[in-house]
Structure 1
Amino acid sequence: MSEMDLPELNRAELHAVEAMRAGGAVVVTNPSPMTYGVVARDARAINRLKGRPVDQPVGISIHGETAHDQLFRYLDVGTDTRAAIDFALAERITVLAPIRPDPTRPEWLAPAIQDGWVVFFDGCWGQLAYLWTSFPFLYGSSANRTGEAPAASAAEARRQFPGGTMVIDADHLREPAATYGASTMIRVEPDGRMSLHRSGIQDQAAGGAEVILERLREFRSSVARLDGSASSPLGKTYLSTAATRQLLPRTRIRLGFARVPNKNADGPRVWDVIRAHVGCNSLGTATAAGELLAGGRLSIEGIGGTLVGCEPPLRDQEEWLKTFLMSKPSWRLDGDELTLTSGGSTITLLDRKIAEPDLPLEGIRWEVVTTITNADLRHHRSLAEHAWITIDGERLTGWTGCNELAATVTRNNTELSFSDVTVTDQACTDETAAVQAAMLATLGSAVDYTVDYNELTLLAPSGIGLDLKAGSEPLPWSPLRVRR
């Protein structure tokens, strides 16, 4: 299907993504009764569009789960307060919260931080799914020129931002409202106290800020009662070290726990999520916040997953794990070790960061596994020639599958910047040429990088990137180190 065959709104999303990849700002639709907003990958583009100093702090939409987890790791508030913040995000409320001055904090948070406080929201709207999922996070602000009210329609946005500024017009998807307004902003203190920082449409529609705040306080209290005072595995991933059932060779139980806002209108406002894997399908389910681990038991009613056809031994092992997890096993956390017990069966797991420490970025031959477009769309290039990179100090060397690659690299805690990129000039096959193009498009400035044990992800601001894997194991196989 060509671009011209797409509906007008989808074409507009495509053009908006391209504009933001090029460093521009775009005016986007929010669901009623919220006003329009301005989003960009470069915070300075928002300020230039609004006629403000380019270094003025802006808000940041943490609509991606990875961005959510990275931000929440540095918020200077308790676990129950984080749950209340997730509730606010699900209600499209903007949050002002204290953030710890940690040197490992991601650089991309800096434009949303001022004097130890960070402003964030979740702007993702399902009607514009492609636009939002094309980026792990976006900077944002209300759609208004300085001194004017935020735009409540596409026509008003075009009046305020003439001269070719792109406006995503989705008025036909919004419910008419008597009153439109920007989002309410709450302020969260380190001790968990919450107050109104800026009045907005949510508190006005609810009949006052105190109504909103009381709902958040009640939710925080209820989750605190369910969570109890003990430490929790939420926010971590664990790998099995022992199990009553003998697992198949080179397989291992992997359990991940997370707490996330519910982006849908139906259901609890905050989910507790468990994800599982034992060699074949990816499994998972969600419960209302606080219920998953309440009372020292793992409580789920059912579990779904992908539909990969497993060989009988793997299928039987997976069914055993599903039955075990649905049997309401007790759980106990002792430092980094998590133990689940049900009847005569026990599974012992270790925090993944301890069981499989992340490999160093440098000195590893990182082999290209997939190329990335739109931040989350992966392409396996099975017909491409082998490609890899190695970083040693300030020098990158590599092979694109048909050409030698070299570059200068500088590094901080979450970003790499590449310069002086050179590549030889041999002809490539079609698939290998696509890999080489992705590699060259990725190796620019301000490239986000994450290392997850033996896997490296590079993601450029354009949404283009690479998944790579260490070319060989750092240690021989052992029960605590299995290549995934």
Structure 2
Amino acid sequence: MSTRIALAVLMLAATACTSPSAGQGANLRGKVYVSSSVTEQGQPRAMVEGTRVELRFTDDGRVIASAGCNQMQSPVKLDDGKLSVSDLAMTAMGCPKPELHQQDEWLSNLLRATPSWKLDGTNLVLTGSDTEIVFATEQPATLEGTWTVDGLVTRDAVSSVPAGVKATISFKNGTVAVDTGCNFNGSELPYELAGQTIKVELGPITDKGCGEVNEVETAVTEALGKGEATYKINRSSLILTNAEGTGLTLKK
């Protein structure tokens, strides 16, 4: 065999042993992807307002997925450009809208059907028989911006915000503004950061009766009204608590 032919054979063998799918699959581990576009039969698929598809690939070879309500997970294989789940389990939360349950089932069916996947630059593209989802890598959240209260923390328990109540906390250029539509009206107050501690003086507020909104306002006051609060950011979630562990969970 000539040297040139032998070299060609070796190059082909090396390519077969290190296929793009195998190498790229390893690169997915430890990353979180969020949908930037969803199409079905070539047309944009409308997602339930405020939701997106999330895929998280763990270091121990599992995929954790969500479409806005329940969470599903399974061991995952990424061989030959296919995403294969072997035992997809799903939580059984009562979603506030039937459309969210339908969206969960849609994503579950897509994952169970062994869709194709590829990396397009930093984006992940997942393709089923009539569905394509383009995912971008999730960027870490920062404290700056507007957060919506979605849970009330009392030591080790978290309860949901009463239905129909919306409260936000916004951090911008060294000021914080709380807006509940009642006694907190979005006034900007200065705050300081010291490590994971937020120092702020809420000052006096009105004492109007606003039904279930007042429950959220009490939690805000407990979290921030004592002058200091500890904050922790986990992906797109923020937890604010006082020294006793009482406070809020928030989402961006």
Provide the secondary structure at the position in 1 that maps to 2:86.
coil
Distance 1:241 1:420, change over 3 A: closer
Q: CA–CA distance in 2 between the matches of 1:396 and 1:320? A: 39
**Structure 1 residue 249 corresponds to structure 2 residue 33:** no
What is the Cα deviation at residue 298 of structure 1? 1.7
**Structure 1 residue 306 corresponds to structure 2 residue 96:** no
Match of 2:73 in 1: 285
Match of 1:272 in 2: 62
What is the Cα deviation at residue 338 of structure 1? 0.9
Match of 2:136 among 351, 370, 373: 351
Match of 1:89 in 2: none
Match of 1:259 in 2: 58
Q: CA–CA distance in 2 between the matches of 1:371 and 1:417? A: 18
Q: CA–CA distance in 2 between the matches of 1:395 and 1:369? A: 21
Provide the secondary structure at the position in 2 that maps to 1:325.
helix
Letter of the 1:448 counterpart: Y
Match of 1:418 among 170, 188, 199: 199
**Structure 1 residue 238 corresponds to structure 2 residue 37:** no
Match of 1:438 among 201, 206, 219: 219
Provide the secondary structure at the position in 1 that maps to 2:202.
strand
Q: How many pairs are equivalent?
A: 221
Q: CA–CA distance in 1 between the matches of 2:111 and 2:138? A: 23
Equivalent residues of 1:232, 1:333 under 8 A apart:
no
Distance 1:273 1:374, change over 3 A: farther
Q: CA–CA distance in 1 between the matches of 2:200 and 2:156? A: 22
Match of 1:328 in 2: 114
What is the Cα deviation at residue 460 of structure 1? 4.1
Equivalent residues of 1:372, 1:379 under 8 A apart:
no
Equivalent residues of 1:257, 1:273 under 8 A apart:
yes
Q: CA–CA distance in 2 between the matches of 1:317 and 1:430? A: 33
What is the Cα deviation at residue 318 of structure 1? 4.5
What is the Cα deviation at residue 254 of structure 1? 0.8
Equivalent residues of 1:273, 1:286 under 8 A apart:
yes
* Cα deviation digits, residues 39-59 of structure 1 (max 9, x gap): xxxxxxxxxxxxxxxxxxxxx
Distance 1:347 1:305, change over 3 A: farther
Distance 1:254 1:461, change over 3 A: farther
Q: CA–CA distance in 1 between the matches of 2:184 and 2:52? A: 40
Provide the secondary structure at the position in 2 that maps to 1:324.
helix
Distance 1:275 1:360, change over 3 A: same
Q: CA–CA distance in 1 between the matches of 2:206 and 2:105? A: 52
Q: CA–CA distance in 2 between the matches of 1:425 and 1:253? A: 38
**Structure 1 residue 467 corresponds to structure 2 residue 252:** no
Equivalent residues of 2:65, 2:71 under 8 A apart:
yes
Equivalent residues of 1:256, 1:274 under 8 A apart:
yes
Equivalent residues of 1:333, 1:339 under 8 A apart:
yes
* Cα deviation digits, residues 119-170 of structure 1 (max 9, x gap): xxxxxxxxxxxxxxxxxxxxxxxxxxxxxxxxxxxxxxxxxxxxxxxxxxxx
Equivalent residues of 1:416, 1:449 under 8 A apart:
no
Letter of the 1:254 counterpart: V
Provide the secondary structure at the position in 2 that maps to 1:440.
helix
Unaligned runs of 5+ in 1: 1-226, 261-269, 471-484
| Length-normalised TM-score, structure 2 | 0.65
Structure whose residues are more often strand by fraction:
2
* Cα deviation digits, residues 294-329 of structure 1 (max 9, x gap): 454322134324354764x77666544323211222
Q: CA–CA distance in 1 between the matches of 2:172 and 2:93? A: 41
Q: CA–CA distance in 1 between the matches of 2:216 and 2:183? A: 10
Q: CA–CA distance in 1 between the matches of 2:105 and 2:176? A: 45
Distance 1:465 1:258, change over 3 A: farther
Distance 1:317 1:236, change over 3 A: closer
Match of 1:380 in 2: 161
Provide the secondary structure at the position in 2 that maps to 1:273.
strand
Provide the secondary structure at the position in 1 that maps to 2:245.
coil
Q: CA–CA distance in 2 between the matches of 1:336 and 1:361? A: 25
Unaligned runs of 5+ in 2: 1-20
| Length-normalised TM-score, structure 1 | 0.38
Structure whose residues are more often helix by fraction:
1
Provide the secondary structure at the position in 1 that maps to 2:28.
coil
Match of 1:368 in 2: 149
Q: CA–CA distance in 2 between the matches of 1:336 and 1:320? A: 25
Match of 1:297 in 2: 82
Q: CA–CA distance in 2 between the matches of 1:367 and 1:318? A: 23
**Structure 1 residue 450 corresponds to structure 2 residue 230:** no
Distance 1:406 1:439, change over 3 A: farther
* Cα deviation digits, residues 408-462 of structure 1 (max 9, x gap): 41136x7342233312252545634432221122124352143856x65434453
Provide the secondary structure at the position in 2 that maps to 1:424.
coil
CA RMSD of aligned residues (A): 3.9
